[in-house]
Amino acid sequence: MTPTLAALQRAIGYQFNNESLLEQALRHRSAGRQHNERLEFLGDGLLNFVIAAELYQRQPESDEGDLSRIRAALVRGSTLAEIGRELGLGDWMSLGLGEKATGGHRRGSILADAVEALLGAVYLDQGFDAAATMVRRLFAARLDDLPDAESLKDAKTRLQEALQREGRPLPAYEIIEVTGEQHKQHMRATCRLADTDQIFEGQGSSRRKAEQDAARACLEFVFNLVTKP
């Protein structure tokens, strides 16, 4: 076992029987054929199941929608990237010359994929229980401090629910302007309340983002509800 991989295994609290699985989990596709994408696929499925099972036990009063929102917040790329940084995975990543030159070892998407690949590698090395134990260890602090499901709802969902509570019709969204090149568009959207004809405008780099921004403006003005972007 190389000293560097020994240090990593101490950091993650797991000793591999087959160290080549760990090496593969840390190998980006830019570094060669035996890269980590298949392990990432395996780890992604395992992670979603284990987190779902944890939330099911910890949140007995939550419905499916709330559980899904909390799980999505826990397993999203930005959270996985944070865990990758906490483990220092970037220091052990095998990257091609181009990725090295552009700071790939710090890139959130690469670190997030490596975390999932690591879980897949543990599963192949010692089975489901070992991999599930690692998930619970890596996510322990986040599982003990779960976000409020209501705060995770997007603006369009919160606006729809606010209107339904008052027995009001649902809003209508419309894209009113698209500018920029195909690969880098900027959109403006409106959110119209049918019963008052009030119109709120939003913008973003996609239809979804522009409509969410318009819904956010409506929530803040009509219902005095502030939502996260």
Q: 44, 54, 211, 213: which is the annotated catalytic residue? A: 44
Q: 61, 63, 82, 116: which is the annotated catalytic residue? A: 116
40 is in an annotated binding site: yes
Give the DSSP per-residue string, the chain.
--HHHHHHHHHHT---SSHHHHHHHTB-GGG-SS-SHHHHHHHHHHHHHHHHHHHHHH-TT--HHHHHHHHHHHHSHHHHHHHHHHHTGGGG-B--HHHHHTTGGG-HHHHHHHHHHHHHHHHHHH-HHHHHHHHHHHTHHHHHTPPPGGGGS-HHHHHHHHHHHTTPPPPEEEEEEEES-TTS-EEEEEEE-TTT--EEEEEESSHHHHHHHHHHHHIIIII------
113 is in an annotated binding site: yes
63 is in an annotated binding site: no
Query: How far is CA 169 from each of CA 60, 172, 212, rounded to the nearest angstrom?
Result: 33, 9, 18
Whether residue 125 lies in the annotated active site? no
Whether residue 66 lies in the annotated active site? no
Residue ranges for the known binding site for Mg(2+) are 40, 113, 116
The set of catalytic residues is 44, 116
Residue ranges for the known binding site are 40, 113, 116
